[in-house]
Amino acid sequence: RRATTRTTPAATGWGRGPGAGGAPEPPTPLPELDGQAKEVLVDTDDAVRTSEEELGFATAQFGEEAAKPFTEAVARAKDELTQSFRLRQQLDDAFPEDDATRRRMLEEILRRCATANEGLDTVSEDFDRLRALERTAPEALATVDATHSGLAGRVAAAESGVAGLRERYGEGTAAPVAVDVEQAKDRLVFAASAVGQARTAIEGGENSRAAVYIRAAEGAVGQAGTLLDSVDRRAAELGEAARKLPAALTETEADLADAGGL
């Protein structure tokens, strides 16, 4: 199993900040930077190879569609690794570069390898989540189903809130949150479908398949919750603005009176 977190370069070869007395730290010596680049290249190559193997298992377990982000991340990591090896070959050929060019190329190797590792780590965490959902599919389904039901119960109140905003502040002010509520309803319809498919999969003993639907439902209800929250948030913002308006008008009138007395 590929480690979720690998040692990747934390900085380039130049000083990361002020040292003692506020003076910038000296750049990493070229031999040391060269050693770092070689080590990181080997580590990243190992990580990509391991991730390719893991991708095969993930595709077989969860399907090509669910594995698509992993497939794309591995492809991007391989491209970064290829470019890094190309730079390494240029550094090791019979035509030596000057020190400044060599430093720049070594730093680029470190950056590219860091990018590759970060991308692999991100999708690895996603698959860790899928595997956890597979192990606890019935419980995870119950949780997302309950969340969905709670949000569905908030739709009527949100629509009422939009109507209140429209009546008090006009259509232009209410329109954005009205769109949010409609989008939330669409997300909840999608979540309900995903919950139903997950339940069917669990009943059929297909927890891997269920995990994919549960994750989709979780994402949809999360989006729906954010969208519904926008109604209350907008109402609070407008209410606060309305409370501040009289004081602002009084201040403006006082300023005008002072100006008129000059």
Kindly list the distances between the CA atom of residue 76 and the CA atoms of 49, 70, 82, 115, in Å, as whole numbers in the listed order.
13, 10, 10, 9
How far is it, in rounded angstroms, from Cα 131 to Cα 140?
A: 12
**Are 162 and 178 contacting, i.e. CB atoms less than 8 angstroms apart?**
yes
- Categorise residue 212: left if φ over 0, alpha if ψ from -120 to 50, beta otherwise: alpha
What is the end-to-end Cα distance of the chain in Å, rounded? 79
Q: Minimum mean pLDDT among 5-9, 173-177, 180-184: which range?
A: 5-9
For residue 209, with 0-12 CB atoms within 10 Å meaning exposed, 13-18 middle and 19 or more buried, which class applies? Answer: buried
pLDDT value of position 222: 97
Mean pLDDT in residue range 82-103:
90
Mean pLDDT in residue range 144-169:
93
For residue 137, with 0-12 CB atoms within 10 Å meaning exposed, 13-18 middle and 19 or more buried, which class applies? Answer: buried
Is residue 248 pLDDT above 60, yes or no? no
Can you give the pTM of this predicted structure?
0.70
For residue 38, with 0-12 CB atoms within 10 Å meaning exposed, 13-18 middle and 19 or more buried, which class applies? Answer: middle
pLDDT tens track for 33-86 = 999 999 999 999 999 999 999 888 888 889 898 889 899 999 999 999 999 999
For residue 111 the two structure tokens come to: 């950056």
**Are 28 and 11 contacting, i.e. CB atoms less than 8 angstroms apart?**
no
Is residue 93 pLDDT above 70, yes or no? yes
Mean pLDDT in residue range 122-133:
90
For residue 219 the two structure tokens come to: 């994402």
How far is it, in rounded angstroms, from Cα 141 to Cα 212?
A: 11
